[in-house]
């Protein structure tokens, strides 16, 4: 007994310096932040408050904080970690264009076991290298070649919807799974160069992605689970790791198929006369995964299998989930705003007339009203509702000094509905994006693809994909949503996705 007492005393004495250091650090940090409006009580901040809320409740909570702190900035603590929230365009304009403050801030590191040090999470020289390597893959000059694949997948989608509508005559259809599968099909063939037939063959990938995103969002509100070794011991951690195994298995299979395809192509000997126009086109458009594998073959220090998978995981996640929710929300809002939908149909009639041929890039560029519909949808429901930065230097914003090392949360979704910026923000009004109405608006008032050096690398591609899919659907059907916008719940589990099924009635235009 005495030995145990001695050990406990020794442990306590050993911990005293660490405790003193932690308290001192907190004191210094809170002194630096004392002038910034704060919400939540010491020592746990808002952790228990957020834990009790649903995903939808957390979004409403953030919206209420915006209304409480009209100055565009406030801090909340989760545990002892402060998060400086910014949702005023003039403040965003100071952080986002910076070439110094490019490191992603907490809670991104909670995603490292999933996405590794892919383009989303890397920083410094690694990020610069990856961005330069990957950038040309999504250059506007090759969008025409991507458009062919997107149109093919859009045709498959309409056939899938036709079967579902025929099977459920008169009933509404949950559109989200269809949007997910077509987006997954597209990113796999365009960026990975692999056809996985996601719309025809059932896959667990998308549902596992959603479950994993939700678990990460919940973990953020539980600071005692931020430690990986502890998280791996609890049921939610084991559930997350089980999902991660399925995600990694799926992406490893994509990489395996691509490597087999490349080996087969390299081993086949062709004469110059056999290089027809189609083959040349295929060689010109190298998929993202081709570029990575090319780079890997000539590199002195090739990417490990885990590093290669990290890049693929990042693009699979970022390249399908974000677009799927954008398509879903656009159809949902059109189904709630029939007068605007009618204008879209008028525009489609004007551009396509009686044509049944899939839309070309040139025709899509003429759909100016649909452009504004998509923009207004992304204002309501930006696919990525917030991003964060870990400051590499002190940043001065008005009378506030944000200290080096602080985590700044750039609240995109909240900025988009800030009544100080957007009159009547809950009204769906595509004409907000008419040139005359946008002329004097701060460019950082609307940032659905983020902004600055770390903006979305695939935004042109995403918009082309959304317009192609929406056009294919709306040329065949009118849509009407079952629920209104104020009755549907949603949440920010990494992606701004619905928290329930999105049911829509489809009526033939004939």
- Who has greater pLDDT, 16 or 350? 350
pLDDT of residue 275: 44
> Measuring CA to CA, how many Å separate 77 from each of 26, 37, 412?
11, 12, 19
pLDDT tens sequence across 299-357: 777 778 888 899 889 988 888 999 999 999 999 999 999 999 999 999 999 999 888 89
What is the C-alpha separation between 208 and 243, in angstroms, rounded? 6
Q: Mean pLDDT across the stretch 260-278?
A: 57
Contact 502, 176 (CB under 8 A): yes
- Selection from 308, 297, 306, 350 nearest residue 471 by Cα: 350
pLDDT digits (tens, 9 = 90+) for 117-167: 888 888 888 888 888 877 777 766 667 778 889 999 999 999 999 999 999
In this predicted structure, the answer to whether residue 279 has a pLDDT above a threshold of 70 is no
pLDDT (tens digit per residue) in 163-201: 999 998 889 999 999 999 999 999 998 888 888 888 988
Question: Residues 383-397: pLDDT tens digits?
Answer: 999 999 999 999 999
Cβ(488)–Cβ(176) below 8 Å: no
pLDDT at 278: 34
> Does 206 have pLDDT greater than 90?
no
pLDDT of residue 124: 87
pLDDT of residue 26: 64
Pair of tokens at residue 39: 């919400």
What is the average pLDDT across 418-437?
A: 94
pLDDT of residue 81: 85
CA atoms within 13 A on the CB side of 462: 25
Q: What is the pLDDT of residue 237?
A: 94
Tokens of 138: 């999504």
* Pairing, β 38-39 against β 73-78: parallel
Nearest alpha-carbon partner for 215 in 426, 464, 413, 491: 491
Q: Is the dihedral of CA 363, 279, 318, 395 positive or negative?
A: negative
Reported pTM: 0.90
Q: 508: helix, coil or strand?
A: strand
For residue 416, the 8-state DSSP code is H
Which of 370, 374, 375, 372 lies closest to 359, judged by CA?
370
Tell me the average pLDDT across 38-53.
82
Structure tokens given for 215? 């678990």
Residues 294 and 275 sit within 8 Å (Cβ to Cβ): no
Q: Which is it for the CA torsion 307, 308, 309, 313, positive or negative?
A: positive
Handedness of CA 95, 98, 100, 105 (dihedral sign): positive
Instruction: Give the residue carrying structure tokens 């204002």.
Output: 379
Residue 74 has pLDDT above 90, yes or no: yes
**Backbone angle region of 391, left / alpha / beta, with phi > 0 → left and psi within -120 to 50 → alpha:** beta
- Report whether 79 contacts 223 (CB < 8 A): yes
Residue 201, pLDDT score: 84
Show the tokens assigned to 192. 């990975």
Annotate 8-23 with DSSP letters as a single string: HHHHHHHHHHHHHHHH
pLDDT of residue 112: 92
Query: Residue 340: CA atoms inside 13 Å, Cβ hemisphere, count?
Result: 23
Q: What are the structure tokens assigned to 414, written together?
A: 């909240």
């Amino acid at each position: 007994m005495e030995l145990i007492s001695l050990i406990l005393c020794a442990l306590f004495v050993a911990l005293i310096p660490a405790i003193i250091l932690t308290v001192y650090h907190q004191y210094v940090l809170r002194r630096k932040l004392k002038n910034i409006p704060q919400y939540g009580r010491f020592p746990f901040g808002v952790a228990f408050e957020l834990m009790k809320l649903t995903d939808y409740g957390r979004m409403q909570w953030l919206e209420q904080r915006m209304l409480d702190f009209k100055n565009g900035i406030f801090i909340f603590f989760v545990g002892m970690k402060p998060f400086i929230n910014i949702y005023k365009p003039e403040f965003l304009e100071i952080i986002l264009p910076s070439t110094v403050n490019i490191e992603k801030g907490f809670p991104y590191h909670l995603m490292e076991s999933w996405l590794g040090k892919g383009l989303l999470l890397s920083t410094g020289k690694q990020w610069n290298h990856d961005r330069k390597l990957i950038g040309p893959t999504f250059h506007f000059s090759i969008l025409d070649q991507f458009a062919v694949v997107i149109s093919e997948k859009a045709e498959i989608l309409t056939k899938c919807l036709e079967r579902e509508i025929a099977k459920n005559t008169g009933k509404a259809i949950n559109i989200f799974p269809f949007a997910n599968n077509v987006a997954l099909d597209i990113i796999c063939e365009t960026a990975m160069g692999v056809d996985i037939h996601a719309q025809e063959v059932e896959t667990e990938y998308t549902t596992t992605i959603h479950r994993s995103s939700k678990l990460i969002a919940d973990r953020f509100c539980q600071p005692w689970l931020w430690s990986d070794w502890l998280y791996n011991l609890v049921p939610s951690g084991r559930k997350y790791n089980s999902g991660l195994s399925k995600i990694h298995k799926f992406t490893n299979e994509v990489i395996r198929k691509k490597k087999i395809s490349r080996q087969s192509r390299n081993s086949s000997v062709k004469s110059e006369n056999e290089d027809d126009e189609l083959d040349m086109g295929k060689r010109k458009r190298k998929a993202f995964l081709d570029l990575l594998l090319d780079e890997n073959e000539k590199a002195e220090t090739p990417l490990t299998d885990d590093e290669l998978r990290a890049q693929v995981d990042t693009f699979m996640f970022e390249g399908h989930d974000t677009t799927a929710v954008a398509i879903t929300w656009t159809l949902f809002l059109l189904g709630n705003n029939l007068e605007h939908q009618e204008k879209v149909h008028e525009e489609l009639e004007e551009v396509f007339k009686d044509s049944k041929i899939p839309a070309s890039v040139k025709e899509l560029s003429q759909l100016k009203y649909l452009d504004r519909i998509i923009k207004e949808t992304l204002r309501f429901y930006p696919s990525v509702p917030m991003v964060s930065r870990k400051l590499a230097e002190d940043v001065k914003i008005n009378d506030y000094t944000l200290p080096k090392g602080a985590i700044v949360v750039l609240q995109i979704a909240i900025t988009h509905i800030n009544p100080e910026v957007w009159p009547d923000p809950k009204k769906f009004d595509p004409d907000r994006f008419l040139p005359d109405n946008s002329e004097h608006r701060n460019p950082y008032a609307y940032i659905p693809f983020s902004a600055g050096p770390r903006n979305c690398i695939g935004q042109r591609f995403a918009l082309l994909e959304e317009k192609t899919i929406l056009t294919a659907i709306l040329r065949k059907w009118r849509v009407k949503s079952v629920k209104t916008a104020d009755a549907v719940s949603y949440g920010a589990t990494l992606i701004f996705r619905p928290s329930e099924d999105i049911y829509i009635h489809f009526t033939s235009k004939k």
